[in-house]
Amino acid sequence: MPKIIGRLKSLKGLNFSHNNLIGYIPSLFGNLNNLEWLDLSFNKLIREIPRQLVDLLWLEVLKLSHNQLIGQIPSGKQFNTFDNDSYIENQGLCGFPLSRMCNSLEAKKPPPLTLQHEDNLEPKNGFGGLVGKLY
């Protein structure tokens, strides 16, 4: 995903669902201080949910379902208000609000060795053919 999106600080809503996106959720999305809804569902996103998203105080709707996300779901602030529907069909996720609890090994498990460092990962089929809605 292009990191430039993290600079769109007045953005209220972001919908990139159903775009067959490959890659990860950039931690820079945590800079979108005015974001009220984020829909990244039905893609092929990997890695963990960035902890920085917890700081999106205006976030009312979060849809990360139907991806390949892993690790513990961040907790605190707005993230404590989202239910199971925000995360379904991400077999590698654990923690509240899911019934699957994380053990200490799962929560700290590194990504597969085939992944590159976040700064160097530029998926070929990611946002190259961007179809989505910016609000």
User: Rounded CA gap, 25 and 127, in Å?
Assistant: 12
Q: What token pair was written down for 68?
A: 């390949």
Say which CATH number the domain at 10 has. Answer: 3.80.10.10
Cβ 44 vs Cβ 66: under 8 Å? no
**Could you give the number of structural domains in the chain?**
1
pLDDT (tens digit, 9 = 90+) per residue, 23-36? 999 999 999 999 99
Q: Which domain covers residue 34, as residue numbers?
A: 3-134
The confidence score (pLDDT) of residue 100 equals 92
Q: What token pair was written down for 84?
A: 């199971």
* b/e code 52-76 from CB counts within 10 Å (16+ = b): bbbbbeebeebbbbbbebbbbbbee
User: Rounded CA gap, 132 and 60, in Å?
Assistant: 19
Cβ 16 vs Cβ 43: under 8 Å? yes
Q: What token pair was written down for 74?
A: 């961040």
pLDDT (tens digit, 9 = 90+) per residue, 83-126? 999 999 999 999 999 989 998 654 445 445 444 444 444 444 45
